[in-house]
Amino acid sequence: MVCLGNICRSPLAEGILKSKLFRANVVIDSAGTGAYHIDQKPDSRSIAIAKINGVDITDQRARKFLAEDFDAFDLIYVMDNANYRDVIEMARNEDDIVKVKMILNEVFPNENLDVPDPYLGGDFGFKNVYKMLDEACEIIAKKINPDG
């Protein structure tokens, strides 16, 4: 799960997908394309909206997306078009490129919609982002582990 800062959207996506796939043998992680918040905890508003929904993301720490992540992961979900461009720029070959998916395309195929960056907004933005990511992660979880 990749966003810009790795403190708002992708930590939520990581936490939500982990909560839906806790029985499955999969590694789920998140990272940012930017280096502004390395080693920081998720934004307090992401922590709060996750907690309301029964998901604990307090142990996460921000890190930067690395080219090695293309080797470590089969699927790389980005939150918006800018993340997509930044991650694709780091791809080394076609195998890397095909791993990168816009997360809302799981809900709205081929529309390339952004999960809006809630960083400079209020709590409503975080609630909205949570709802979008929960819907997308429900679909991803069913694909990865159809038996639940």
36 binds ligand 4NP (CB under 6 A): yes
84, 100, 117, 130: which one binds ligand 4NP (CB under 6 A)? 117
Helix ranges (H only) for 7-122 are 9-20, 44-52, 69-72, 81-90, 94-98
Provide the token pair at 56: 């604990």
Q: No. of H helices and E strands in the chain?
A: 6, 4
Closer of 1 and 140 to ligand 4NP (Cβ): 1
Closer of 6 and 19 to ligand 4NP (Cβ): 6
Annotated catalytic residue within 8, 9, 69, 137: 9
15 binds ligand 4NP (CB under 6 A): no
Q: Please state, in angstroms and as integers, the Cα–Cα distance from residue 115 to each residue in 2, 9, 49, 119, 139, following that order.
A: 11, 8, 16, 12, 16
Residues for the chain: how many in total?
Answer: 148
1, 8, 47, 104: which one binds ligand 4NP (CB under 6 A)? 8
Dist. CA 9–CA 79, nearest whole Å:
7
Known catalytic residue: 3?
yes
Known catalytic residue: 9?
yes
Nearest distance in Å: CB 95, ligand 4NP: 26
Please give the residue ranges that form the binding site for ligand 4NP (CB under 6 A). 3-9, 36, 117, 119
Catalytic residues, which ones?
Answer: 3, 9, 117
